[in-house]
Amino acid sequence: MSRLRGRFRRNTFACLAFLPLWSLSYSLSFFYLSLYFKASGVTDGQLGFLVTAGAGASIIFSILAAPLVDRMGRRRSTLVFDLVGTALPFLLYALGGSFGFALAGTLLSNASRVMNVGYYLLMTEDSPNEERAAAFNVFNIIYLAAGLLLPLAGGFVASAGILRAERIFLVLSSTAIAISAVGRYLLSSETAVGTAIMAGRTGAVGATGDGAAGRRAVERPLMFRRLFAGYEAAFSFLARNRKAAAAAAANTLFYVYYLVGTTSSLYFTPFFAEGLGLGAPMAGTIGAVYSGGTLLAMLFLNPPAFRRFGPVRSALFGVILNAAGFLLLLFVPKGAVLPAMAALALISLGFGTLKSAIDAVLAVSFGERGAAAPGVAPSAGEAARSGVYSAVNLASSVLGMGAGALCGLLYGLVPRFIPAFSLAILVAIGVSLGAAKGKARDATMETVPGGGVPGGGP
């Protein structure tokens, strides 16, 4: 912990310090969630509906993410929406695993889209690009290391049964996540860019209205404009910066893939356990192999690869490894444990490289300079950051809705649709990353006139 404190700035350290408790709790409950739902009577078709409905809810929260994070601040929005979007849904799932509870929790859990934007900005916004890339790699290492403990949970699941064990996991996880959220809040402070944006909004309203009545009169017609001010800045920035636009496209496709072909997919564990006939007791081993391979890549492949080749080429290498694993899964015979584990190892190594690299590709696309002191205007790239992250969330949610519907329709009929679909998405990610290597005009150092929010909104 002391090494993290010495290496990273205050907010980055605060986000990473509580991540082990948060990620262990989240991974423990989420990994068995789809099996818990199925044991409670949720069908394959209903799982597909949950994915689709969740994607629909995430569209709403993604639209609201940028204005909420800019209005509430990075620090406060991260706290509120971590509690609402993660801790509270786990409590709902603990009350019951039936379709009704599963649907309610799934819809509410997408409030974490707001938390994700606030968290990433809180973790990286006050840091230089080099530290941002390092922070994402450490973030992913900590998050994936939690999966190495899943086999221990598997023994408890086998003895207690999936229903009882998962309910215990959910209650403990909800409590631990709430503790992590509050601890992170107390240890961090609002970012310089976040402070500047909030001050700009307050100042604009105060300057145009006299007293409470004046403020209300001004706020009503500007409410709609405020909602989209962050997106106006984001799309204006992306239109001038081809590299950032390609990085945003690659991130969008990656998080669609994340819903289909990783352990965060509701179909990943059932595919190995049922589609390949490995059985539910293997679920913990599958999670450990996946986490172990991913962690290996992040610890030993990523640091030298990032230094020598940079994030874009490293991400392309991750795409190739992932694609090789999913291609192998298309031909693995049912019940063949060793070939399935070999394919899983390739997928996990590829994911470990791709996840950190593709996060870094987008994180370093906005330029180095932010609002370093009160009254200093953020650069156009920094002012657009929250809007770009929200736009990526929004686009991936829309595409994820379609992806969830396809999985729900086809998984029961053709289980190998999951690796085939994942392979197709990876090809599209590779194409986008290839475009991100293109030369871009540097628009990241332009400042926002007057130090306010782009688009002139308060």
Percentage of the chain surpassing pLDDT 70?
83
Report the CATH fold assignment for 10-198+225-451: Growth Hormone; Chain: A; (1.20.1250)
- What would the pLDDT profile of 224-260 be if each residue is shown by its tens digit? 566 666 678 888 889 988 889 999 999 999 999 998 9
Asked whether 401 and 326 are in contact (CB, 8 A), the reply is no
What is the DSSP secondary-structure string of 359-401? HHHHHGGG-S----STTPPPBHHHHHHHHHHHHHHHHHHHHHH
| pLDDT, mean of residues 294-304 | 88
Q: How far is CA 304 from CA 179, 278, 300, in A?
A: 35, 36, 7
**DSSP state for residue 411 in the 8-state scheme:** T
3-state secondary structure of 447: strand
Confidence check: pLDDT of 356 > 80? yes
Residue 417 confidence class, pLDDT cut points 50, 70, 90? very high
Q: Is the pLDDT of residue 344 over 90?
A: yes
DSSP state of 98: S
What CA–CA distances, in Å, run from 380 to 237, 367, 377? Answer: 7, 9, 9
| Average pLDDT of span 376-392 | 79
Q: Are 193 and 125 in contact (CB under 8 A)?
A: yes
Alpha-helix residue ranges (DSSP H) falling in 88-128: 88-95, 99-109, 112-124
Output the average pLDDT for the chain: 82
Residue found by looking up tokens 């909104």 in the block: 457
Q: At residue 72, does pLDDT exceed 50?
A: yes
What is the arithmetic mean of pLDDT over 145-154?
72
The label of the residue with tokens 């944006």 reads: 197
Residue-level pLDDT at 2: 53
Domain edges within the chain: 10-198+225-451
Name residues whose C-beta falls within 8 Å of residue 326's C-beta, 6 or more positions apart in sequence.
261, 343, 347, 419, 420, 422, 423, 426
Residue 85 predicted with pLDDT over 60: yes
pLDDT at 452 over 50: no
Supply the Cα-derived Rg of the chain in whole angstroms. Answer: 22
Q: Which helix (H) or strand (E) holds 29?
A: helix 19-31
Choice between 56 and 344, residue whose per-residue pLDDT is larger:
344
Closest CA to 144 of 289, 280, 255: 289
CB 340 within 8 A of CB 332: yes
**DSSP per position, 122-183:** HHHTTS-HHHHHHHHHHHHHHHHHGGGGHHHHHHHHHHH-HHHHHHHHHHHHHHHHHHHHHH
